[in-house]
Amino acid sequence: MKSVLYFVFAAFLEIAGCFSFWAWLRQGGPIWILFPGMVSLVLFALCLTQVDASFAGRAYATYGGIYIASSLLRLRVVEKTVPDQWDIIGASIAIVGVLVILLGPR
């Protein structure tokens, strides 16, 4: 359970960090917005080192599905855009993959 919290927190940090670059390049934001974004990306990487996984690749694969679902949550909450059926289907497939990787017998 602790790992899931780290994955969710990592997703929040990565989305925030990447959005700083989006805001700067795509929305004409000020360059200083990159600095908190870079800090956020460093904290994101540190979060991923805290998950309970024997191998980095497995942690990254699990995180990927959580990132997809978190991005769609951001789409809904921050960008006020309702994910369409294909977004939901795709995220559902990714979450099923996460559960297989996370809960599979080893």
Each residue's pLDDT tens digit, 12-34? 999 999 999 999 999 999 999 99
Query: What is the domain partition of the chain in residue ranges?
Result: 2-103
Cβ 66 vs Cβ 11: under 8 Å: yes
Taking the C-alpha atoms of residue 38 and residue 42, their distance in angstroms, rounded to an integer, is 6
Each residue's pLDDT tens digit, 36-52? 999 999 999 999 999 98
**pLDDT value at residue 9:** 95
**pLDDT value at residue 36:** 97
Taking the C-alpha atoms of residue 77 and residue 72, their distance in angstroms, rounded to an integer, is 9
What number of other Cβ atoms are within 10 A of residue 100's Cβ? 12
| pLDDT reading at 103 higher than 90 | no
Cβ 38 vs Cβ 14: under 8 Å: no
Cβ 13 vs Cβ 47: under 8 Å: yes
Cβ 7 vs Cβ 63: under 8 Å: yes
